[in-house]
Structure 1
């Protein structure tokens, strides 16, 4: 497949930016999906020992990839402790 891409880019040099941008998008998407799969509280890999991991989150835990203008370490809990 890589030989075919190189052959196409030699025949049509205007396709090189297309290959670069698609490769950069795939390279950027792979770590983002890996980050979501490993650190998102909505994903449960161990159903027997931890069936509901989202219940163990504190209000000051940051689980978003990027939060704008929110310092999650200074958030306070609004509900009672059980």
Structure 2
């Protein structure tokens, strides 16, 4: 998936980012995946939590960190423009 939102349960900022990203992606015809870093770590893959766990939510675009703590809407829209 092109856009991935890294989150964790109980994170209020993650909920806001999910809502913002859903609105933006919906307007642009893009989808996104959501990955809970704690669930991934519990499943035996602690790398995402180790790398990003202290600055959630994190938006990844094409596998690279795009923004964290909030969705950088102007930048994301510009980067997704054709």
Do the structures match in fold with TM over 0.5? no
Q: TM-score, normalised by structure 2?
A: 0.24
The structure richer in helix per residue is 1
Q: Quick check: which has more Rg, 1 or 2? A: 1
Q: TM-score, normalised by structure 1?
A: 0.24
